[in-house]
């Protein structure tokens, strides 16, 4: 596998990044940097923050005054914090903003530690550039990875301003403290704005990391509070720039007819009718995709026009004969049986503790059940869109992308230009859920711009995305539990089969990988003597891609519903059963499963117990319910966080069901932005409910059968539940917040339906009636 393909994987799939997370931040991480090649104004303070730890220490640079940097060998930092002469603080956000609030949250960490007035902070979006470190936004890793480093950046600036104040008043620095964009001299009561001190601070050396004094939690000004998004006003006023808002002089519009089956290709086409449409300028055949598909374009036939309507209308008039290739045999119903057959027989053991076979042989009862979940589509509100302008001098790209740096080698390969001649501009993402970490739509725009010699915008329609996107994998599971004559669970066996995400990088990969299994299956925390996990191999027939919460969605569904089934078989309350299986509080060594223990993020079952008990308390577990109502509970450890849900369901006499209330509890360590953290859980409830009601993508003869919201349903406004979110209050290292809330929801809901009706659902979606 090439280095380029490896770099396309999202951050949680990159072993190198995991190694980075385990290392500390050295004193060379934060530096005072010249503005010679960045901003030319004098009398400013610029602090660079290295997003890679462990770099070689070097001479600390001094910031420029009057344009003289005093730095003979320019050092290019990854993130800039700039304080202008008027006191304005500019912070560059290097991650992708897609509604999760990262463009607000990480800069707020810097601002908090530096004691900046948030009203005087300007956040600017970075371009795609390796100098910013890893910009791939996914895996709930942004805060985990950069929280400490952003704190140290802010604390460095604060220390420099306090030192500047001490010089200004010829005072002891210990008597000076930064406070809300000012430095106060305690003994005299004098104070000065950052603007008055920036010329002094700009000449100072950055303090060593071991000399920094980070704030204590009670001193936080912004961390843990509700913060309004920095783009909120522009969004609600229609000023925010999304991918479809980009307009360039002479820009052309492209609509592409893509192969209906993955790895299909054009046999022949007639474009006469398409070319007759007013506004159409060219019809271009794109090269057919070849395995591995990775994040490359699918090929097909593109219509180039001077307006989008003409391009779309003409595309429908193309007469194309397709060679559908080897994936034309893909039929969802038949593949479902293939998956189920795979888990009905022994697979490759990837976790084997004790002796399940012996436990089953000695058992008083062996409980068995099968679970199935179909493909899902990301269904983000903004379909893929990209604009590219390729000339002999360079290539510039505008796109809503979760991974801008991956687009640079892709564009270099297509254009033949050196990477330094390629610029990637990140627009706001109108939702992403992992889809926009895959740059196939950008590949199309770059190819077409190079072909026609003008800027080209490629806009996917909803049907394009549903029928030609990347899909959450389809899965089958077979679970078995051995119960002795006292009702104790003595053995657990879990068999899984699903096409792996890694098939897009390696067509020979046919079975789940450790990173996928580690999202709930490998990490089963139950205190059972015999635990066996087996995986089966099946080929991928469509492009499998990361979708919010990834394999934790269906693995949590199988595990938590089966846990509820065990409770019923034992005659125990589901909450009591869940806590009993969890066993005593302990730290689980992930290296025993072939995974890595992350420094600062041990897997502690006591924290999982904590969210379960909090959810039960806040959800009123055990209370008397109206007729037709039921409560269900489920919990999951994923993305270094702990989450639990208690769902209340109401079932009418005709079988229609609704969710009047859901309680979600999360332990993600220190919450950074409370507003976005709550919103993420509310969104997780809506998304999880949508999966249970409607989530299904199917194929027939290799073609995706759904196309738009009429048959690829998402939740409507009136269907959403009343959602209560509770966070465990602590100041431990922050962990994932965007994805952990989704996995427990579906099983908690299925368990609630069983409590209300006695009907057990083991296949998703359940639909609107039971």
Q: What is the pLDDT of residues 626-637, one digit of tens each?
A: 999 999 999 999
Task: Point out the domain boundary residue: 205, 236, 267.
Answer: 236
Q: What is the pLDDT of residues 73-112, one digit of tens each?
A: 222 223 568 888 899 999 999 999 999 999 999 999 999 9
Q: In terms of domains, do 290 and 141 share one?
A: no
When mean pLDDT is compared across 10-14, 125-129, 758-762, the lowest value belongs to 10-14
Q: In terms of domains, do 253 and 212 share one?
A: no
Q: Residue 195 pLDDT > 90, yes or no?
A: yes
Q: Residue 708 pLDDT > 70, yes or no?
A: yes
Q: In terms of domains, do 101 and 220 share one?
A: yes
Q: Kindly state the percentage of the chain with pLDDT values over 90.
A: 86
Q: Residue 358 pLDDT > 90, yes or no?
A: yes
Positive or negative torsion for Cα 479, 484, 490, 491? negative
Q: In terms of domains, do 349 and 420 share one?
A: no
Q: In terms of domains, do 554 and 506 share one?
A: yes
Per-residue pLDDT, 78:
30
Q: How many helices (H) and strands (E) does the chain have?
A: 19, 33
Question: How are beta strands 722-727 and 657-667 bridged, if at all?
Answer: parallel
Per-residue pLDDT, 8:
54
Contact residues for 178 (Cβ-Cβ < 8 A; gap 6+): 114, 115, 158, 161, 162, 165, 184
How far is it, in rounded angstroms, from Cα 532 to Cα 541? 28
Per-residue pLDDT, 679:
97
Distance set, CA 366 to CA 117, 371, 490, 496 (Å): 62, 17, 10, 18
Q: Residue 753 pLDDT > 70, yes or no?
A: yes
Structure-model confidence comparison of residues 34 and 330, the more confident one = 330
Per-residue pLDDT, 548:
98
Q: What's the average model confidence in pLDDT over 201-207?
A: 87
Q: How confident is the model at residue 50 (pLDDT cuts 50, 70, 90)?
A: low
Per-residue pLDDT, 30:
58
Q: What's the average model confidence in pLDDT over 640-662?
A: 98
Q: What is the pLDDT of residues 134-176, one digit of tens each?
A: 899 999 999 999 999 899 989 999 999 999 999 999 999 999 9
Q: Is residue 442 part of a domain?
A: yes
Q: Is residue 762 part of a domain?
A: no
Q: What's the average model confidence in pLDDT over 215-228?
A: 97
Q: Which domain holds residue 176?
A: 2-236
Q: Domain tally for the chain?
A: 3
Distance set, CA 617 to CA 620, 688, 725, 754 (Å): 5, 22, 13, 21
Task: Point out the domain boundary residue: 214, 236, 258.
Answer: 236
Q: In terms of domains, do 541 and 412 share one?
A: no
Secondary structure of 666-686 in HEC code, one letter for each residue: EECCCCCEHHHHHHHHHHHHH
Q: In terms of domains, do 269 and 362 share one?
A: no
Q: Is residue 210 part of a domain?
A: yes
Q: Is residue 488 part of a domain?
A: yes
Q: What is the pLDDT of residues 305-319, one digit of tens each?
A: 999 999 999 999 999
Q: What is the pLDDT of residues 525-558, one digit of tens each?
A: 999 999 999 999 999 999 999 999 999 999 999 9
Q: Is the pTM of this model over 0.85?
A: yes
CA atoms within 13 A on the CB side of 199: 10
Q: How confident is the model at residue 582 (pLDDT cuts 50, 70, 90)?
A: very high
Q: In terms of domains, do 23 and 155 share one?
A: yes
Q: What is the pLDDT of residues 278-304, one digit of tens each?
A: 999 999 999 999 999 999 999 999 999
Q: Is residue 554 part of a domain?
A: yes
Q: In terms of domains, do 189 and 263 share one?
A: no
Per-residue pLDDT, 10:
53
Q: What is the pLDDT of residues 263-282, one digit of tens each?
A: 999 999 999 999 999 999 99
Q: In terms of domains, do 740 and 596 share one?
A: yes
Per-residue pLDDT, 32:
58
Mean pLDDT over all residues of the chain? 91
Crossing angle of helices 552-570/745-757, nearest 10°? 30
Q: Is residue 260 part of a domain?
A: yes
Q: In terms of domains, do 640 and 743 share one?
A: yes
Q: What is the pLDDT of residues 498-515, one digit of tens each?
A: 999 999 999 999 999 999
Q: Residue 56 pLDDT > 70, yes or no?
A: no
Q: Residue 47 pLDDT > 80, yes or no?
A: no
Q: How confident is the model at residue 43 (pLDDT cuts 50, 70, 90)?
A: low
Distance set, CA 330 to CA 33, 341, 545, 704 (Å): 56, 16, 17, 10
How far is it, in rounded angstroms, from Cα 28 to Cα 214? 17
Query: Omega of the bond prior to 292 within 30 degrees of 0, cis?
Result: yes
Q: Residue 64 pLDDT > 50, yes or no?
A: no
Q: Is residue 770 part of a domain?
A: no
DSSP characters over 718-751: GGPPEEEEEE----SPP---SSTTSTTHHHHHHH
Per-residue pLDDT, 4:
47
Q: For residue 106, give the DSSP letter.
A: H
Are the C-beta atoms of residues 8 and 181 closer than 8 Å to each other? no
Q: Residue 596 pLDDT > 60, yes or no?
A: yes
Q: What's the average model confidence in pLDDT over 480-488?
A: 98
Question: How are beta strands 395-399 and 422-426 bridged, if at all?
Answer: parallel
When mean pLDDT is compared across 51-60, 114-123, 459-468, the lowest value belongs to 51-60
Q: Which helix (H) or strand (E) holds 536?
A: strand 530-536
Q: Is residue 763 part of a domain?
A: no
Structure-model confidence comparison of residues 719 and 727, the more confident one = 727
- The CATH number of the domain holding residue 35 is 3.30.365.10
Task: Point out the domain boundary residue: 431, 459, 487.
Answer: 459
Burial status of residue 768 (CB atoms within 10 A of its CB: 0-12, 13-18, 19 or more):
middle
Q: Which helix (H) or strand (E) holds 633?
A: strand 629-638
How far is it, in rounded angstroms, from Cα 510 to Cα 496? 12
Q: Residue 38 pLDDT > 70, yes or no?
A: no
Q: Residue 236 pLDDT > 90, yes or no?
A: yes
Q: In terms of domains, do 295 and 347 share one?
A: no
């Amino acid at each position: 596998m090439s280095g380029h393909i490896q770099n396309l994987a999202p951050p949680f799939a990159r072993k190198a990044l995991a190694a980075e997370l385990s290392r500390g931040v050295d004193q060379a991480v934060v530096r005072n940097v010249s503005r010679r090649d960045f901003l030319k104004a004098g009398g400013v303070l610029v602090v660079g923050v290295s997003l890679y730890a462990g770099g070689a220490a070097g001479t600390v640079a001094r910031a420029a005054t009057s344009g003289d940097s005093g730095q003979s060998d320019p050092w290019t930092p990854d993130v800039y914090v700039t304080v202008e002469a008027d006191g304005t603080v500019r912070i560059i956000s290097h991650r992708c903003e897609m509604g999760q609030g990262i463009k607000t949250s990480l800069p707020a960490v810097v601002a908090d530690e530096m004691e900046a007035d948030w009203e005087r902070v300007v956040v600017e979006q970075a371009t795609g550039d390796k100098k910013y470190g890893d910009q791939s936004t996914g895996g709930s890793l942004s805060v985990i990875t950069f929280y400490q480093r952003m704190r140290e950046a802010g604390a460095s600036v604060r220390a420099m301003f306090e030192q500047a104040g001490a010089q200004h008043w010829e005072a002891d620095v210990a008597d000076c403290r930064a406070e809300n964009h000012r430095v106060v001299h305690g003994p005299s009561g004098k104070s000065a704005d950052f603007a008055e001190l920036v010329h002094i601070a700009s000449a100072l050396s950055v303090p060593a990391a071991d000399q920094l004094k980070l704030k204590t939690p009670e001193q936080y000004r912004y961390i843990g509070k509700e913060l309004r998004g920095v783009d909120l006003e522009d969004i609600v006023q229609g000023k925010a720039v999304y991918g479809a808002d980009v307009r360039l002089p002479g820009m052309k519009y492209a609509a592409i007819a893509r192969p209906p089956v993955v790895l299909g290709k054009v046999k022949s086409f007639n474009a006469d009718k398409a070319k007759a449409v007013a506004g159409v300028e060219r019809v271009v055949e794109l090269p057919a995709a070849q395995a591995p598909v990775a994040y490359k374009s699918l090929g097909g036939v593109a219509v180039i026009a001077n307006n989008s309507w003409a391009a779309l209308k003409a595309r429908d008039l193309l007469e194309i004969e397709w060679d559908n290739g080897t994936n034309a045999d893909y039929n969802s119903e038949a593949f479902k049986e293939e998956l189920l057959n795979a888990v009905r027989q022994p697979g490759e053991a990837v976790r084997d503790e004790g002796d399940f076979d012996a436990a089953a042989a000695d058992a008083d009862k062996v409980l068995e059940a099968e679970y199935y979940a179909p493909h899902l589509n990301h269904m983000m509100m903004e379909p893929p869109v990209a604009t590219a302008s390729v000339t002999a001098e360079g290539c510039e790209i505008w796109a809503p992308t979760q991974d801008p740096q991956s687009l640079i080698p892709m564009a270099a390969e297509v254009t033949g230009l050196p990477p330094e001649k390629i610029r990637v501009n990140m627009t706001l993402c109108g939702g992403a859920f992992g889809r926009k970490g895959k740059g196939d739509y950008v590949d199309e725009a770059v190819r077409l711009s190079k072909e026609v010699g003008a800027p080209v915008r490629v806009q996917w329609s909803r049907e394009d995305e549903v029928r030609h996107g990347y899909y959450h994998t389809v899965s089958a599971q077979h679970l078995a539990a051995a119960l002795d004559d006292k009702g104790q669970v003595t053995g657990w066996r879990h068999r899984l089969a699903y096409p792996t995400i890694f098939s897009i990088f390696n067509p020979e990969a046919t079975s789940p990988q450790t990173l996928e299994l580690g999202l709930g299956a490998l990490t089963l925390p139950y205190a059972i003597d015999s635990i066996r996990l087996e995986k089966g191999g099946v080929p991928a027939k469509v492009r499998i891609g990361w979708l919010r919460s990834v394999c934790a969605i269906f693995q949590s569904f199988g595990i938590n519903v089966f846990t509820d089934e065990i409770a019923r078989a034992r005659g125990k309350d589901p909450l009591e059963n869940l806590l009993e299986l969890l066993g005593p509080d302990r730290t689980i060594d992930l290296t025993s499963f072939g995974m890595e223990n992350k420094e600062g993020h041990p897997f502690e079952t006591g924290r999982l117990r904590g969210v379960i008990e909090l959810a039960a308390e806040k959800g009123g577990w055990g209370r008397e319910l109206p007729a037709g109502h039921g409560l269900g509970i489920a919990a999951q450890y994923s993305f270094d966080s702990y989450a639990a849900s208690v769902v209340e369901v109401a079932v009418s006499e005709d079988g229609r069901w609704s969710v009047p209330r859901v309680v979600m509890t999360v332990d993600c360590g220190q919450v950074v932005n409370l507003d976005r953290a709550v919103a993420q859980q509310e969104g997780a409830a809506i998304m999880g409910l949508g999966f249970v009601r409607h989530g299904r993508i199917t194929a027939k003869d290799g073609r995706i059968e759904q196309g738009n919201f009429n048959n690829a349903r998402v939740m409507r406004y009136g269907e959403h539940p009343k959602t209560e979110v509770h966070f465990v209050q602590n100041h431990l290292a922050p962990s994932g917040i965007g994805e952990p809330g989704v996995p427990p929801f579906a099983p908690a809901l299925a368990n609630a339906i069983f409590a209300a009706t006695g009907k057990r659902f083991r296949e998703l979606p359940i639909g609107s009636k039971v």
